[in-house]
Amino acid sequence: MRGFRVFGTTADIGIHARGATLANLFDNAALGMYHLMGSPDPAAPRRAKKLAVSAGSEELLLFRWLSELLYLYDGKAMFGCGLANTTIVDNRITSQLVWIPGDRVKLRHQLKAVTMHRLAIQRSPDGFRAAIIFDV
């Protein structure tokens, strides 16, 4: 079972992400966003890039994290297909993004932006959950 579930809204699209840890939630939210965006070519060469993002709260950090990943695709043609060594300390996330060139992706949805609409991180007995809505 995946760590995310797709849901629709009237003019946007969103995901419910979950994770045993906060870092796992952020990884699954990113993977869910990339799933919405498209399917990577399995034969495409993989590269890695270290990333770090900070914010004043967990929700704002999730928003900025996903916005940075979306920017890397839109502005740098870097489509994420995995994450490694993700850590979150004091509202700062660091991670290693595994990516492929953007022209090696079969697109599903062109995401315009991550939104703050209804964005909330909830703690649950099995870890963390969040709903994230994207403009399409």
23-71 residue pLDDT tens: 999 999 999 999 999 999 999 999 999 999 999 999 999 999 999 999 9
Tokens, residue 65: 């994290």
Residue 61: other Cβ atoms inside 10 A: 21
Residue 43: other Cβ atoms inside 10 A: 7
Question: Residue 130 and residue 17: Cα distance in Å, rounded?
Answer: 5
Percent of the chain with pLDDT strictly greater than 70: 97
Q: Please name every residue paired with 131 in a beta bridge, in sequence order, or none if there are none.
A: 16, 120
Q: What is the dihedral of CA 49, 65, 14, 102, to 10 degrees?
A: -30
For the chain, domains (ranges, CATH) are 4-135 (3.55.10.10)
Q: Are 63 and 119 in contact (CB under 8 A)?
A: yes
Residue 103: other Cβ atoms inside 10 A: 9
